[in-house]
Structure 1
Amino acid sequence: MKLVLAPMEGLTDPLMRDLLTSVGHYDWCVTEFIRVTDSLLPEHVFYTFCPELQNGGKTNSGTPVHVQFLGNDANRLAQNAARAAELGAPAIDLNFGCPAKTVNRHRGGAVLLDEPDVIYALVKAVRDAVPAHIPVSAKMRLGYLDENHTLDNALAIEAAGASWLTVHARTKSDGYKPPAYWEKLPAIQQAIGIPVIANGEIWTLEQAQRCLEISGCKDLMLGRGAVTRPDLVNRVRHNNDSQQLSWPELVQLQLDFLDGATKTEQGLVGRYKQWLGMLTQGYSEAELLWNDIKKIRDMDILRAALQQHCLKQ
């Protein structure tokens, strides 16, 4: 079973990828999408989204980091994918799942699921531009507003040369509202010959087990559940809920987060509070900590409060 850390804009940035892969065994993770419009991006953009390119394309724990692109210009996607490969990307992924209105309004992400021919052309252009030994994959939803083209899109992605397909088991119109429709995935698997990775609404070991059973998939991509429960990947991999991080271990992980590099102190404090808010869904101790620090804005005071909390445990 392959377990993959999902690309999530504003969430699984380089700092979060480094932390989550340091405590959990992922087969690979995927960058937040790099938007491609009408140009070949300068190298610094690649290094901003994927600083791991300067580390052999891996996080500090050795987990490969695949570079994801989003766009609708086949030539420009191909050029940028080729450049990412030159810089050391171990694999290229294409985003056909983003439901954001701004992205869709500019004809990117999930809106392209109404155009299987375009999806084929985009994947084919990237596959032709990237060296044969570097995999090209795609991530899609079941559809945009409906599921009329689900199989057409899967077949197009396979025919264009993708090595595997990740499917978020909801349409764009479903957003992130539960449930995820894992029961829709067997039909996709039967239609294509490349591996299908299941994604969507996996927050616990029990949900991971049910997703595998219902979808028939052998591999899973973990998204928000992986951020909410950093030990989820280990629970799933070992099929055992005892594979848990202790709360003191998680507090140390949070301190490591606050030592991470970012543009501004305010930005890092905000990102930390976003993460702690998510941790409250997985750990009761996180709610107590949240009540203690939610009004703190100064980094030094925040770090001291977190260290004091750790001493109380």
Structure 2
Amino acid sequence: MKLILAPMEGVVDFHMRELLTDFGGFDLCVTEFVRVVDALLPPRVFYRYCPELNFSGKTKAGTPVRIQLLGQNAPILAENAVRAVELGSYGVDLNFGCPAKTVNKSKGGAVLLKEPEQIYQIVKAVRDAVPDAHEVSAKVRLGFDDSSQSHEIFDAVNSAGANSIAIHARTKRDGYRPPAYWEKIKPLKENKNIEVVANGEVWNFEHYLLCQERSGCEHVMLGRGALAQPDLAAEIAARRASKSYTPISWQQVLAHIVDSNMHCDGGNSERYFASRTKQWLAYLKLHYPEAEIFFEEIKRLKSSQEVLDKILQASNKVTTC
């Protein structure tokens, strides 16, 4: 049984993958999508989206990372997929699930759910190009406006030779509105050999069990639930192994933010750490009441150092970069 950290554009980047996998429980991470248009991208682009390539393709905790590609040009996607695995990605994932209008307008992401034949051509081109030792996976939804084409979408990915398919149990029209229709996954996977991963609305261990039961899937992908409860994967891994588990406290979350050194490398933006911390608090407050109070304390702060000082004060830690 696998637990996979979902790709979330603008949210789960290198720093967040490192921070979340440090808590344990995850078997694989998928990067934010790398947009492919009409050319083979230079290596620096892959390293920017997946700095883990500098460390044998794994997070600091040792969790493998898979690069996700998004686009519509099958031959060019295949070329970039080969480059991704040559650089050290643990396989390649293909994005057919992103609901963003800007992505869909350029005929990428979920809009391709309307064209199962195009999905087939893309997956097949990538699978044929990538050496067999590397897995090819796809992320899809149940459909675009409705789930009437869900069987065609699933069969396109399966018949094209993908190793696995992650199904976000909602349509593009549904967006991220609950519920997730896990039960609609089960009939898609009947009598199929492809590995199927269920995704959507898994916020706690009880949801995880219910998702498995209704979808018929052993494997589950966690997204927003892992952001709200950073040790959710660790809890699931422990409890499914019949081990006792003590959830991490709010103080431990703050201490972990400091220990992660996310504040030491903000790329080109001095405000990176401040903005990313505020963004994460929006999820954390769903599980930790203290997060909402803390957000009120820092919401007007713009400097990363100011935010770090507040975290240090609250966590009673001292740090150096």
- Is 1:274 aligned with 2:285? no
The residue aligned with 1:52 is 52
Higher mean C-alpha displacement, 124-133 vs 252-261: 252-261
Correspondence list, 1:194-209, <5 A: 194-209=194-209
**CA displacement, residues 221-265 of structure 1 (integer Å, 9 cap, x when unaligned):** 000111111011112122378441122220112223323432211
C-alpha distance 220-241 of structure 1, shift in aligned 2 (>3 A): farther
Shift of residue 24 of structure 1?
2.1
SS at match of 2:254: helix
Q: How many residues are matched?
A: 312
**CA displacement, residues 5-37 of structure 1 (integer Å, 9 cap, x when unaligned):** 000000110010011011122100000000100
CA distance in structure 2 between the partners assigned to 1:174 and 1:266 by the alignment: 33
TM-score (norm 2): 0.94
CA distance in structure 1 between the partners assigned to 2:196 and 2:125 by the alignment: 21
Is the CA contact (8 Å cut-off) linking 2:166 and 2:196 kept in structure 1?
Answer: yes
The residue aligned with 1:294 is 299
CA distance in structure 1 between the partners assigned to 2:244 and 2:38 by the alignment: 47
The residue aligned with 2:212 is 212
Sequence identity (%):
49
Structure 2, gaps ≥5 residues long:
none
Correspondence list, 1:19-98, <5 A: 19-98=19-98
Is the CA contact (8 Å cut-off) linking 1:24 and 1:230 kept in structure 2?
Answer: no
**CA displacement, residues 258-305 of structure 1 (integer Å, 9 cap, x when unaligned):** 234322112321111101221111111212222222221122222111
TM-score (norm 1): 0.96
The residue aligned with 1:253 is 256
**CA displacement, residues 106-156 of structure 1 (integer Å, 9 cap, x when unaligned):** 111111111111111000000111111001010100001121211111111
Higher mean C-alpha displacement, 162-171 vs 17-26: 17-26
**CA displacement, residues 171-207 of structure 1 (integer Å, 9 cap, x when unaligned):** 0000000000011011111153211100001111111
Equivalent position amino acid for 1:72 in 2:
Q
CA distance in structure 1 between the partners assigned to 2:299 and 2:233 by the alignment: 28
Shift of residue 38 of structure 1?
0.6
CA distance in structure 2 between the partners assigned to 1:284 and 1:80 by the alignment: 44
SS at match of 1:143: coil
**CA displacement, residues 27-81 of structure 1 (integer Å, 9 cap, x when unaligned):** 0000000010011111110000011111111111110000100100011000000
Is the CA contact (8 Å cut-off) linking 1:231 and 1:243 kept in structure 2?
Answer: no
Higher mean C-alpha displacement, 260-269 vs 84-93: 260-269
Equivalent position amino acid for 2:233 in 1:
V
Equivalent position amino acid for 1:60 in 2:
K
Equivalent position amino acid for 2:164 in 1:
W
Is the CA contact (8 Å cut-off) linking 1:205 and 1:235 kept in structure 2?
Answer: yes
CA distance in structure 2 between the partners assigned to 1:166 and 1:135 by the alignment: 13
Deviation above 4 Å: which 4+ runs of structure 1? none
CA distance in structure 2 between the partners assigned to 1:104 and 1:85 by the alignment: 26
Correspondence list, 1:177-196, <5 A: 177-190=177-190, 192-196=192-196
CA distance in structure 2 between the partners assigned to 1:285 and 1:78 by the alignment: 46
- Is 1:142 aligned with 2:142? yes
Is the CA contact (8 Å cut-off) linking 1:167 and 1:197 kept in structure 2?
Answer: yes
Structure 1, gaps ≥5 residues long:
none
Higher mean C-alpha displacement, 49-58 vs 266-275: 266-275
- Is 1:18 aligned with 2:18? yes
CA distance in structure 1 between the partners assigned to 2:118 and 2:303 by the alignment: 48
